[in-house]
Amino acid sequence: MALKLLKKLLFDRPLKNGVILNHQYKIEECLGMGGYGLVYLCTDILTQTPYVLKQLRPTKAKKEKEKVRFQQEIKLLNSIHHPQIPGFIDEFIIDGQAYYVMQFIEGENIEELLFFRKQPFTELMALQLISQLLEIIEYLHDRLIFHSDIRTPNIIINDGRLCLIDFGLAKQLTPEEMEEIKVRKQDDFFDLGETLLFLLYSQYKGKKKKNGTWLEELTLTKEVTLLLKRLLGIDEEYQHTASIREDLNRAIQSIT
């Protein structure tokens, strides 16, 4: 375990700021390190446009399975064309090391807004944001693409406009893969419900009970409660995004 960690520290060190890749992309800063990739803010020195650059971790680049996974992520992103998902820009290999470039989305992620800035979201604001997120999920699921990592740090808000990032765990399935489709669909639906719950708790001022549940702590309309219970699998699970959209619209109408 210690040796594995040491290897990561030695070989997976981020690129230095100022390094120029492919004679075009200047590294500005490392934004983060995930399970198998490093993510940077970079600038296209030809156009002065900011982009996000992702690098397959050097320790992973030696494994064929990880290289294939990275290429699948590139192929997937290249097939997605949605205004609220960062667009694919470029890909290249330098000395056996794979990289790809995508659009940079300005704004703050929901995790920063909720847990660091302590920004409150009204019930209506929360539902409207979830409506935007559902629109993205509808687009993806119509193409049998499942994100599988819809979490607060992967949802960016800029002037009320929501964007979904980080497709490292996403997968596009075939119609024949029915069992995996069912599992991944429910995972995305559960994540949607959990995100809504986080947003609704931003308004909660009471004292959390030791073994209290959100049903006891939050004062919600019956329509919002129904929506949450089905998204979280407490009641009958949703099978399609269309049913979620219907209940979400009813929930919005119940508080407007």
**Three-state SS at 41:** strand
Active site residue 235: no
The position carrying tokens 């990739």 is 37
**The predicted structure's pLDDT at residue 60:** 86
Q: Which of the following is catalytic: 44, 149, 191, 235?
A: 149
**The predicted structure's pLDDT at residue 216:** 83
Angle at 121 between CA 120 and CA 125, to 5 degrees: 165
Give the CATH fold of the 10-103 domain: Phosphorylase Kinase; domain 1 (3.30.200)
Q: 10-residue block means of pLDDT along the chain (256 residues)?
A: 50 91 98 88 98 93 89 96 97 93 96 94 96 98 98 94 95 97 98 97 74 82 96 96 98 92
**The predicted structure's pLDDT at residue 133:** 98
**The predicted structure's pLDDT at residue 109:** 96
**The predicted structure's pLDDT at residue 4:** 55
Query: Check: CATH 1.10.510.10 for 108-254?
Result: yes
**The predicted structure's pLDDT at residue 98:** 92
Closest CA to 124 of 234, 213, 221: 221
- Asked if domains 10-103 and 108-254 share a fold, the reply is no
Where in the chain are the domains?
Answer: 10-103, 108-254
